[in-house]
């Protein structure tokens, strides 16, 4: 202490100007400490918010996509029922429509639903075939009353335990234009719960939940809170209920719960439903406190060095924030990133979400081709491995990427989910030879299957389920371009108009559907079967070049047509007229010519009473 007092007296002798300069430096250093601490806190807040946003947004997209599918099912089915009502179709037709839609959406939802149902024109109809008890009153059920009380939009009914499946489900309902009919769909919350669990690492203190605006926990990442508490009106994290979350001015709330600190981020999915992530920040806050204390000590004792350290820290932070921003921008896209140095034949894992893939790469850095091949062998479906191994052949990268900086391939992983593998050039030599690349894997299963489903819808005839004219013609054109052989046949039902006029359009539709089913069952999967429109159909028999064999196949098909039984039609059997032409690559160069030849055969067959086939040269 005496020595310290002498130092103070020595400083006082330097004069007022030096004392002021020293005081300014000390005050500036202290101000820098405070400022730096606030900047670091803001960066930490940003990182916490980003993590919460990534988890909530990623999980929210999956949950919203699932719920959107259910909404679309109700919307589409509602419009279909309204159309049938406007045409004054019988209740049986509406029930059949619900049954077909239920079958379609059970496939899309992978069984996570009991199907479509509703109260239409004063009667209960069920697309899954469920028959309620005699005392069942649909008009008092929440799915009906909620929709009636809130016309014009889809209404979600609070979760409940379904008596059929013993699963926790929600209902999406909508009142139709008549103001009395309601269409509804029950969907299981199992997938929603699974999504919340998938986005939270096991063993972490983080939480993710889907919650209704009244405080009901719909799904929770912690399994013990998912079961038995679904209907509890629980406050969120020590008193921060939904009202406080919705009314908060901050994007992220700091909460202390059972001795732990959390950053809580909420995002609204639909009206009344929120996805909420709670990220444990104890370790972050501890690091922040230690770092601030260290800065204070260093800047007070060695203020000159501190200025240099501050500049260095500022640069490092800027680089870290830039790197974090880049990683955030791709965090929702790529699950795996590996740096491959072709020159040094080295392999370095940058990021990997999958444990199986991390384990397969652990401890390996040399022998990039071997590591990449072993990794992808362990994490890809056998059906995709041939094309995948050819794609990841590093020896051909320079040739394949001579004019491109990135190439990609879609493949199935070992869970039979679609992924996209991508090589991106990181560095080239002056001669253009690749020095290093990034190998990245992007999960695209939902995108791929939705795209395939849309393609299927665009190529499928809605009434019969076989290909429509556009989809069928495109496949036949590809066959012609590939130089393959085969036979095109065109057919239509004889006297179909009289069937419609006599028995009604519903019976006519049954005839059309029966002919389509007969086509599907009579020919191979490799053959192209399509509905041209009305009562006209077409088929292309691949590699069929023998006229005698073709005639035998067609006659067998005609026998199957004659065997069709329509209950409403008892006084006649279905007859068809067929025209056929063989694809001769030397004479026929396009689809139009082949179609005209087959079509002319139909007119010739029409001249003969009963079913007939005419082959045209």
DSSP string, 40-105: HHHHHHHHHHHHHHHHHHHHHHHHHHHHHHHHHHHHHHHHHHHHHHHTT--HHHHHHHHHHHHHHH
Would you kindly state where each structural domain of the chain is located, as residue ranges? 34-332, 336-445, 460-616
* Predicted local distance difference test score (pLDDT) of residue 150: 87
Six token digits for residue 52:
């919460």
Look up residue 227 and give its two tokens. Answer: 């079961």
Between CA 174 and CA 152 the distance in angstroms is: 7
Examine the pLDDT at 362 and tell me if it is beyond 80: no
CA atoms within 13 A on the CB side of 51: 19
What local confidence, expressed as pLDDT, does residue 526 receive?
84
At residue 363, what are phi and psi to the nearest 5 degrees?
A: 80, 0
**What local confidence, expressed as pLDDT, does residue 559 receive?**
93
Residue percentage of the chain with pLDDT more than 70: 73
Beta bridge partners of 536: 492, 533
Q: Is-contact 580 550, C-beta < 8 A?
A: yes
d(CA 532, CA 423): 44
Cα separation, 421 vs 151, in Å, equals: 46
Tens digits of residue pLDDT in 56-101: 677 778 777 878 888 888 888 888 888 988 888 888 888 888 888 8
Say if strands 418-428 and 434-443 run parallel, antiparallel, or are unpaired. antiparallel
The burial class, CB within 10 Å (0-12 / 13-18 / 19+), for 76 is middle
Q: How far apart are CA 560 and CA 133, in angstroms?
A: 42
332 pLDDT band, cuts 50/70/90, is low
Q: What is the mean pLDDT of residues 22-44?
A: 68
Give the pLDDT band of residue 43 (cuts 50, 70, 90): low
Please tell me the class of the 336-445 domain. alpha beta
| Mean per-residue pLDDT of the chain | 78
Tokens 């008890």: give the residue. 133
The percentage of residues in the chain with a pLDDT greater than 90, rounded to a whole number, is 18
Lowest-pLDDT range of 62-76, 208-222, 591-605: 208-222
Q: What is the pLDDT of residue 19?
A: 61
Q: Do the domains at 34-332 and 336-445 have one common CATH topology? A: yes
Q: What is the pLDDT of residue 327?
A: 47
Query: Per-residue pLDDT averaged across 317-332, rounded?
Result: 49
pLDDT of residue 16: 56
| Whole-number pLDDT of residue 3 | 52
**Which tokens belong to 531?**
């509905």
pTM assigned to the model: 0.38
Number of C-beta neighbours around residue 202 at 10 A: 7
> In the CATH scheme, what architecture does the domain 460-616 have?
2-Layer Sandwich (3.30)
**311 in Cβ contact with 296 (< 8 Å):** no
The residue-averaged pLDDT of 373-382 equals: 87
The rounded distance, in Å, linking the Cα atoms of 584 and 201 is: 62
CA distance 497 to 502: 8
* Segment 420-478, tens digit of pLDDT: 999 999 999 998 899 999 998 888 888 778 776 666 666 788 888 888 888 889 898 98
| Domain topology for 34-332 | Beta-Lactamase (3.30.450)
Greatest CA separation found in the chain? 127
Does the pLDDT of residue 302 top 80, yes or no? no
- Read out DSSP for 155-186? EEEEEEE-TTT-SEEEEEEEE-TTSS-EEEEE
Q: Where are the alpha helices (DSSP H) in 302-367?
A: 303-331, 355-361
DSSP-assigned beta bridge partners for residue 513: none
């Amino acid at each position: 202490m005496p020595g310290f007092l002498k130092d103070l007296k020595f400083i006082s002798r330097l004069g007022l100007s030096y004392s002021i300069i020293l005081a300014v430096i000390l005050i500036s250093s202290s101000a820098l400490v405070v400022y730096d601490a606030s900047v670091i806190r803001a960066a930490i807040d940003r990182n916490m918010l980003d993590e919460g946003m990534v988890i909530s947004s990623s999980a929210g997209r999956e949950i919203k996509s699932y719920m959107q599918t259910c909404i679309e099912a109700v919307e589409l089915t509602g419009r279909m029922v309204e159309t049938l009502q406007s045409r004054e179709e019988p209740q049986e037709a509406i029930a059949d429509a619900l049954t077909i839609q239920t079958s379609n959406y059970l496939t899309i939802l992978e069984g996570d639903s009991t199907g479509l149902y509703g109260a239409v024109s004063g009667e209960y109809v069920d697309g899954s075939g469920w028959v309620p008890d005699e005392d069942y009153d649909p008009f008092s059920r929440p799915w009906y009353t909620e929709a009636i009380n809130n016309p014009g939009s889809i209404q979600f009914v609070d979760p409940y335990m379904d008596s059929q499946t013993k699963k926790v489900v929600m209902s999406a309902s909508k009142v139709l234009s008549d103001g009395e009919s309601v269409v509804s769909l029950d969907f299981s919350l199992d997938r929603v719960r699974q999504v919340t669990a998938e986005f939270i690492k096991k063993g972490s203190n983080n939480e993710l939940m889907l919650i209704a605006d009244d405080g009901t926990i719909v799904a929770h990442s912690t399994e013990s809170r998912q079961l038995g508490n679904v209907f509890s009106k629980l406050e969120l994290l020590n008193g921060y209920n939904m009202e406080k979350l919705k009314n908060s001015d901050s994007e992220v709330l700091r909460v202390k719960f059972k001795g732990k600190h959390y950053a809580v981020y909420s995002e609204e999915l639909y009206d009344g439903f929120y996805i909420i992530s709670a990220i444990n920040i104890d370790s972050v806050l501890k690091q922040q406190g230690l770092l601030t204390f260290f800065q204070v000590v260093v800047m007070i004792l060695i203020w000159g060095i501190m200025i240099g350290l501050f500049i260095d820290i500022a640069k490092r932070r800027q680089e870290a924030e830039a790197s974090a921003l880049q990683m955030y921008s791709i965090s929702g896209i790529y699950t795996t990133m590996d740096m491959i140095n072709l020159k040094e034949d080295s392999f370095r894992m940058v990021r990997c979400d999958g444990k199986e893939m991390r384990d397969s790469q652990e401890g390996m850095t040399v022998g990039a081709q071997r590591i990449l091949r072993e990794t992808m062998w362990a994490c890809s479906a056998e059906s995709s491995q041939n094309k995948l191994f050819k794609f990841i052949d590093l020896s051909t990268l320079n040739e394949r990427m001579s004019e491109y900086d990135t190439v990609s391939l879609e493949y199935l992983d070992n869970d039979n989910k679609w992924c996209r593998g991508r090589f991106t050039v990181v560095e080239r030599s002056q001669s253009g030879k690749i020095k290093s690349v990034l190998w990245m894997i992007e999960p695209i299963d939902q995108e791929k299957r939705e795209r395939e489903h849309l393609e299927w819808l665009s190529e499928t005839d809605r009434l019969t389920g076989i290909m429509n004219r556009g989809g069928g013609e495109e496949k036949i054109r590809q066959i012609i371009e590939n130089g393959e052989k085969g036979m095109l046949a065109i057919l239509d039902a004889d006297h179909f108009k009289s069937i419609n006029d006599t028995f009604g359009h519903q019976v006519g539709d049954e005839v059309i559907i029966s002919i389509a089913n007969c086509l599907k069952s009579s020919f191979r999967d490799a053959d192209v079967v399509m509905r041209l429109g009305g009562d006209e159909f077409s088929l292309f028999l691949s590699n069929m070049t023998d006229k005698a064999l073709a005639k035998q196949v067609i006659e067998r098909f005609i026998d199957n047509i004659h065997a069709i039984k329509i209950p409403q039609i008892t006084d006649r059997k279905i007859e068809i007229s067929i025209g056929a032409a063989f694809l001769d690559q030397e004479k026929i160069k396009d689809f139009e010519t082949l179609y005209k030849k087959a079509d002319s055969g139909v007119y010739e067959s029409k001249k003969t009473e009963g079913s007939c086939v005419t082959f045209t040269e």
